[in-house]
Copies of this chain bind each other. A is one copy, B any other.
Amino acid sequence: MNQGLDFQSIIFNLQTYWASQGCMIWQPYYSQLGAGTMNPATFLRVLGPEPWRVAYVEPSVRPDDGRYGINPNRLQQHHQFQVILKPDPGNPQELYLKSLLALGINPEEHDIRFVEDNWESPALSSWGLGWEVWLDGQEITQFTYFQQAGGMTLDVPAVELTYGLERIAMTLQGVSHFKDIRWNDQRLYGDVYQVAEREHSTYYYEIADVPRLREMFNLFSQEAENALKKGLVLPAYDNVIKCSHTFNVLDARGAVGFTERQALFGKMRDLSRKVAEAYYAQREEMGFPWLKQVETQQHEVESLLLAQSEIAERADFLFEIGTEELPASELDRAIEQLQPAFETWLAEMRLEHDGMKVQGTPRRLAVSVKNLQTRQTERTLELKGPPADRAFDNEGKPTKVAEGFARSKGLELDQLAVKTFENGRYVVAEISEPGRTSLELLSEKLPLMITNLRFSKSMRWNQSGASFSRPVRWLVAILDDQVVPFEFAGLQSGRTTWGLRFSTQGSTTVDSLAAYEAYLDEQGIILDPLARRQNIWQQALRLTESVNGTLVDDPDLLAEIGNLVEQPTALLGTFDRRFLENLPPEVLIGVMKKHQRYIPVLDQEGKLTNHFIVVRNGDHQHAEIVMDGNLQVILARFADAEFFVQEDMKKKLEDFVPKLAQLTFQKQLGSMLDKTERIKMISLKLAEKLGLDETEKATTMRIAQLCKADLASEMVVEMTSLQGVMGKYYARHSGENEVVSQGVFDYYLPSSSEDQLPGSRPATVVGLADRLDSIAGLFAVGLTPTGNKDPFALRRTAIGLVSLLLGKNLDFDTRWALQQAGAVQSVPFTTEVEDQATAFITGRLHTILLERGVAHDVVDAVEAVHGENPAQANHAAEVLSRWVAKTEWSTILPAFSRCVRMTRELEREFLVEPSVLTEAEEIRLYHAVSQAKTSLNQSPSFENALVQVEGLVSPINAFFDKVLVMVEDQALRESRLGILQRIAALSKPYADLSKLEGF
C-alpha cells in the first residue's frame, strides 16, 4: 500500500467518480467552515423538493482540533470531500463503496463497517441519521441521511457523504503522521501545512483576542439580521458562517462558559433557521425551478398478484427486512417488538405453527416460522341480534327489525334463528367463516408489521415517506416456496437477499426458509444475536487466555459489539506499553470502549494490560491488514490523549485555577473562578453546620479550591467526560494528599440518583456547595427550568443534591442551605427566589422517593412535613411505608383519621379538664393519650409515634362507640375535643397522615 494515491490524486479520483454519477463539481467555500455541511451547496440546497447532486472538497477549519502540528492526525484544518445525493438514489452505500474502489481500496481486503453515528448541529438546527464508516477501525467517512436543516424538515431526505481525506491518504499511503502524506510527487503534506498547524494552533489557543472576537460575533450577527430583513439569503448566511467560526475560536480560547454557549448557540440557531426559511420561500416563489428538470421517476406500483400454485397445508415462513446498518440498540428494540407482535398476530389469526423466532443482524431483521398453517381453519360464528320478540311479530313473521339486522350482516332472512340466552330470547345467525390463506393474510399484515415498529430515532430516506431506523433496501417474504407479495417504501417483496456486504457473491435468491438459513451459514452470518455474543465472548476468552489475561464481563459492550457484525471474528491487538504508564486507565478504557468498541484485556489482578480485543465483521482473511489499521487508530487516539496529559502535567493542578477566570459560568454569575470562590464560602458554612473538625475543614477548602481546576486542562477541554477523573490524577501528580485528590473526583458524585456517593465528608460538602451555588445562582438570574427545557441541567443538579442528603443521611434544611448559597451570589437572592428554589428541590425529592418505590400518598404525607429536609423525609417515608404495609394499618388509620377529621377545622387547641369527663371510655382514652405523650417525650421518633397511635386504636374505637363528643355542655365538649386533638398531634412532627389513601 506504500504506493497508494497521492493526496491530489485522491481528490481527482473522487471528483471524477462523482462527476460520473451526475454530481456538479463544486468549489470550497470562501469562508472558514467547520465542515462541508455548512457550505451553502449543502446547507441550503438540501432544502425543498428539488433534486441536487454535488461534490466538492472543503478544507474544514476546527480551531479546537489544532495540536500544533504534533499530533499525527489531529489538525485545525483538514480536508473533507463532501457529496450530496438528493433524492436518495436507492443504493448510496453501494455507490459509496464503488468510490472507495476508485481510490484503490478494495473493500474485500478490509473491515469496512457502518457504525451508528448520528449527526447534529445545534448551531445550524440541523440533524441527520447515519454512520461513521470505519476502514479497519479508522473513521474515514461520515454517511448521513439528512433529515432536517435550519430547523426545517427536509421535503426530500438527502444523502450526505463526508470523506476525511487526510485519514484516507494516510491509510492508502501507509504513513502514520499527516506530515508524511504525499501531496503530489514533489511535496509532502507537512511541507506545506506543518507550520500552518503550529501557527494557527498558537493563534486559536493563545493569541486571538477574546473581547475582539466577541465584538466580531456581534457585528456578524447584526449583519446577518440586517441582510435577513432585506430578504438576502446568501449574504445573511455568510454572516452566520462567520459567527460560527468566531464562536469556534472563542471556544478554543476557552472563553465560552456554559451559559454564554447557550446564548451564542441560540443566536446562531435562530439565524440559521431564518436563513433556511428565507431560502425555502425564495425557491418556492421561483416555483422550485429544478423540479421541472426531474425525469418523472414515479414508481409504478405493479399490482400485487398472489401466487396461485399449490401450497402444502403447513409450510415454513421467512420474512426478512434487509436494511442498511441498523444501530445496535435499534436492532434490539426491533427484535423486542417484532417477537410479541408477530406471535400475537399469528394467534389472533388462528395460524398454528411449530415455533417462531425473530432474529437479526445489523443488516437484516428476520422472522422465521416453522410449519405454519397455510390456511386458517374454517369456523362458524354465531351472531347475536335483537330480542326475538322485537324481531318477529306475533305471527312469527320477521319485522323490520329482523330485516334490518339481516341486511346489516349481509344475511338472508331465512338464515336467522332464535336462541334462548340467560337474559332472554334473541335472534341469532350462524355464519360460517372460511379460512383465509396465510399468503393473503401475511400479504396484508407484513407491511403493517414494518410500519408499526418504533425506534428511538427514525428517519425517512426517499419520497415514499416511509420511516424506519435506517433505510430498508430489500424485503424477502416466502411461505413454502412462494413469495408473499407486498410493498413498503417503494420496494416489493421477493426472494432476493444479500449476504455479507463484501462477499463477492452479492445477492442471491432463496426458495425457502431452509435455503435461506443454509445460505447464511455458508456466508458465516450468525443470525441470532445471543449466539453472536456468545461466539464473540468465546473467541475473546481464547485470545485473552493466550496472553494470560482476564476479561471483565460487560454485557452492554458485548451486546453492542455483537450488534455491529454479522460474521464476528475476534482479533487480539497490543498497544505500546508506554501508554499504560502515561495515561490513567479511565482514559485508555474510555477510548477503547467508547470510541473503538474494543474489549480491554486485564491481567490476573484486574489491572489494565496493553492488550485488547477487536471484533471485525468478516473472517480471518486479511486479518493482518485489519489489525494494522486498528492499531494505527488506537495509537493515534492514545497519542492524542498523551499529548494533552503531558501538556497538562507541565503545571500543577492549582496552576489551572487562574485560567478559570476565562471560562464563563454564566454572564451574570461570572467565571468558573468566581464560582470556585463561592463554592469555598458555601462549603465553609456547610462544614460548620455538619460539624466537621479542623482537619476536615482544611481538606474541604482544598478540594473546593481545586474542584474546577481541571476544566481548564487540555485533556478535559478535549473530553469533557473526564472532568473530575483528570482532576484526581493531576491532583495526585501535583502532590495533593489522597483525600483531596479523590475528593476532586468524588464531589461530582452522584451523577444520577443511582450512582455511588463521595467517599469523604469534605468531598460531600464540596459537592453540596457546588450544587447549591448553581441552583441559587441560576434561579436568582431567572434561569429556572421550564417545561421540558432545562438547558443548565438544574434538575440533575438538584437530584444530585437530594441524593447526597439522602445517601449520607444529612439532616439538613435545604432552605437554610440555599440561603447560605444565595448570600454569596453577586445578584440579589430574594425571598421569592428562595421559595422557588426550595420548592424545586422538594420537587426532586418527590421524584426520587417515588422512584425508590415509596407510595405516592406516603410521599405526600412526609413531604408535607419534611419537604425541605430530604434526609428526614426519607426516614419518615421508610417508617411510614413499613407501617402502611402492615395488616393492622387498616384499623389504625381509620381510628386515627376519625380523631383528626373531627378536630382539624378547630381554630384553637382545647384544654382537657379531667374532672368534667364522665364516661369510662373517655377517661380511659384520656389516660392512654397521656401515657402515649409521655412515652413520646421520652423517646421521640416517628416509629414510636405510630406505636403509640396503634396502642390508642382500641380506646379510640371504644370512645367513639360510647361517647358523643358534640354535647351541649361546653366544658365537656371541649375536653373531649381536646383529647382527640392530642391524638391527632401525635404524628404531626413526622408526617401529615391525612394525605394517606383511606384517610
Chain A residues packing against B (C-beta within 8 Å): 8, 11-12, 15-16, 19, 22-25, 27-33, 53, 57, 59, 61, 77, 79, 183-187, 191-192, 195-196, 199-200, 202-203, 206-209, 212, 215-216, 219, 222-223, 226-227, 230, 232-235, 282, 289-290, 293
Contacts and interface: CB of A to CB of B under 8 A. Distances in A.
A208 B219 CA distance: 11
Contacts of A192: 24
A335 to B, nearest CB: 43
Given A33-B30, A222-B209, A186 B293 contact: yes
Nearest to A57: B27
B212 A227 contact: no
B30 A11 contact: no
Given A24-B192, A33-B30, A215-B219, A207 B187 contact: no
A195 B290 CA distance: 14
A226 to B, nearest CB: 6
Contacts of A32: 30-31
Contacts of A227: 203, 207
Given A11-B25, A31-B30, A232 B203 contact: yes
A199 B59 contact: no
Given A25-B11, A282-B195, A219 B222 contact: no
A199 B57 CA distance: 25
Contact of A212 (B30, B222, B234): B222
B12 A8 contact: no
Given A183-B24, A212-B223, A30 B199 contact: no
Contacts of A31: 30-32
Contacts of A223: 208-209, 212
Contacts of A290: 191
Contacts of A282: 195
A19 B187 CA distance: 12
B209 A226 contact: yes
Contact of A196 (B27, B212, B234): B234
A711 to B, nearest CB: 25
Contact of A219 (B187, B212, B230): B212
Contacts of A206: 230
Contacts of A33: 30
B199 A234 contact: yes
A25 B59 CA distance: 13
A222 B16 CA distance: 43
A977 B196 CA distance: 87
A79 B200 contact: no
A235 B207 contact: yes
A26 to B, nearest CB: 8
A212 B8 CA distance: 40
14 contacts: A24-B183, A24-B186, A27-B79, A30-B30, A30-B77, A191-B289, A203-B227, A207-B235, A208-B223, A208-B226, A212-B222, A215-B215, A216-B216, A219-B219
A22 B186 contact: yes
Interface centre among A8, A11, A12 (most CB of B within 10 A): A8
Contacts of A235: 199-200, 202-203, 207-208
Contacts of A208: 223, 226, 235
Nearest to A29: B30
A536 B215 CA distance: 62
A186 B222 CA distance: 37
A230 B212 contact: no
Contacts of A185: 22
Interchain residue pairs A-B with the least CB separation, the first 9: A203-B235, A8-B25, A199-B232, A30-B32, A199-B234, A28-B28, A212-B219, A24-B184, A203-B232
Nearest to A283: B195
Given A12-B16, A24-B186, 10 more contacts: A8-B25, A24-B187, A30-B32, A30-B61, A191-B289, A195-B282, A202-B235, A207-B232, A209-B226, A215-B215
A212 B187 CA distance: 42
A226 B208 CA distance: 8
B30 A59 contact: yes
Contacts of A232: 199-200, 202-203, 207
Contacts of A219: 212, 215-216, 219
Nearest to A293: B186
Given A223-B212, A227-B203, A184 B11 contact: no
A44 to B, nearest CB: 10
Contact of A233 (B57, B187, B199): B199
A31 B241 CA distance: 11
A290 B233 CA distance: 45
A226 B207 contact: yes
Nearest to A59: B27
A59 B29 CA distance: 8
Contacts of A212: 219, 222-223
Nearest to A232: B199
A191 B283 CA distance: 11
B27 A184 contact: no
A8 to B, nearest CB: 4
Contacts of A61: 30
Contacts of A53: 186
A83 B192 CA distance: 16
A948 B223 CA distance: 79
Interface centre among A24, A215, A289 (most CB of B within 10 A): A24
Contacts of A12: 15-16, 19, 25
A226 B196 CA distance: 17
A202 to B, nearest CB: 6
A200 to B, nearest CB: 6
A654 B61 CA distance: 49
A69 B522 CA distance: 62
Nearest to A204: B235
A209 B223 CA distance: 7
Nearest to A60: B30
Nearest to A25: B8
A28 to B, nearest CB: 5
A774 B282 CA distance: 49
Nearest to A212: B219
Nearest to A237: B199
A754 to B, nearest CB: 47
B195 A234 contact: yes
A230 B203 CA distance: 9
A32 B196 CA distance: 19
A208 B232 CA distance: 11
Contacts of A202: 230, 232, 235
A24 B25 CA distance: 19
A261 to B, nearest CB: 22
A490 to B, nearest CB: 23
Contacts of A29: 30
Contacts of A207: 226-227, 230, 232, 235
Given A28-B30, A30-B29, A232-B199, A184 B19 contact: yes
Contacts of A16: 12
A164 to B, nearest CB: 15
